[in-house]
Amino acid sequence: MLLAVAAIVGCSGESASEITQTVVIVDAQPCVRDAARGARVRVFGDDGAVVLDQSVSFVDGEDGATSLPLRIPIVPIDGDATRRFWVDVSFTGLPGSSLGVVRVAGSYLEGRLAAIPTCLVEGCRGVDCGVCAPPAPCSTCRADVGACASTVITPIPFENAESACGSGPSTCGADAGAATCDGGCDAGVSTPDGSVGDDAGVGDAGPPPPECTSDGDCDDADGCTTDVCASERCVHGAVDADGDGHAPTGCGGDDCNDGDPGVHPGVVDVCNGRDDNCSGVADEGVAESCGNGADDDCDGVVDCFDPDCAGACQQRQCNPGFPQFRWCGGSCVNTNQPSNCGGCGIVCRGTACRTDLGDGHPRCGCMTNDSPCPGTHCNTAARACACTDAASCGPNAHCSPGGGLPAYCDFNF
């Protein structure tokens, strides 16, 4: 476990001069507060391991019910202020619907009590900024930006902390229903009576000074982040040069080509000589679709000429340049033969499979009396063996009326 996480609402008994601690303050605008019934709070260490996973209720009368703002004090193990952490708070309404998510990728001020105020504003209600799986870069709907942006938020001294919702100083006990404590609270985590300006002077410092006036003021010399000055605060996001939503692998992301928006995990790998989905294998392909005119599985044959399409292409051509070859029961067969004459399963019983009966298409029949007709002769008008009854046609045939012509043996069942 890389982080020591205290209770969600409460205060630390240590003074700011003795600890390195960051308190993540999670609040919501009144319109969201009214709809919120609870939240799931998760805290991750700098290796992505889950340190805290706790559900809280905002419904009066329920066991363990609490109220906003939530305060999540986080202390680095061994006082190592270079560590990082992630906080993910998912708000739910009725009946269990998602109201929105507040996410923070936080850090510490060495030897200081710091704060990161956040707020779920009405404009971010229900906004989906994708899945977050620390330590991979992710985004959240930021109140100070008004859209999905980096979860990296620079901590500020706790004594300068104001509610990100614009409701005044965010002090433990300053809001109705928040916990208060007595003794050991002069570090600014709370005041004994919940008043502003008591004890260590929480709230007396006024608004925090501007952190930046231009993007240049926010340069952190890290090639894996973008540095933007927004509302006089530095916002550091993950680099994504091609704008496809995936950070490069060199910066801890999963994009193997950050210069091409068409290359990243989740893309369908096609036959183009490159690794489109960053799997480590180029042109691994997918299953043949059998009808889109493309070589989906990269085996050099397309649609019904691909053996993978044998079932889907029954009776259809399977050998380029030889139209008589068709898929029959999973095999590519020659349909110019008595066992499959003109199509799968058409068997010529006693006659030949011919292509000279007028239309060039293979079918069972005869042309002259020299043709094989069992116990009868060839009805040259019908181009089939003449008959008087089924017995004259032999087994597995029937005597078909000629439609104005003499009856003939029909072998095409």
Tokens representing residue 402 in the block: 């000629």
Average pLDDT over every residue of 311-319: 86
- Percentage of the chain with pLDDT > 70? 74
Could you give the CA distance from residue 247 to residue 132 in angstroms, rounded to a whole number? Answer: 13
Q: Determine the pLDDT at residue 87.
A: 92
Could you give the CA distance from residue 291 to residue 401 in angstroms, rounded to a whole number? Answer: 41
Could you give the CA distance from residue 104 to residue 109 in angstroms, rounded to a whole number? Answer: 16
Q: Please give the residue that has the higher pLDDT: either 187 or 223.
A: 223
Could you give the CA distance from residue 185 to residue 180 in angstroms, rounded to a whole number? Answer: 9
Supply the mean pLDDT for the chain. Answer: 75
Q: Please give the residue that has the higher pLDDT: either 390 or 260.
A: 260
Pairing of strands 113-120, 156-157: antiparallel
The dihedral of CA 198, 202, 203, 205: what is its sign?
A: positive
Q: Determine the pLDDT at residue 413.
A: 39
Q: Determine the pLDDT at residue 288.
A: 81
Could you give the CA distance from residue 113 to residue 155 in angstroms, rounded to a whole number? Answer: 10
Q: Please give the residue that has the higher pLDDT: either 353 or 15.
A: 353
Q: Determine the pLDDT at residue 191.
A: 33
Could you give the CA distance from residue 195 to residue 91 in angstroms, rounded to a whole number? Answer: 28
- Percentage of the chain with pLDDT > 90? 6
* pTM of the predicted structure, to 2 decimals: 0.40
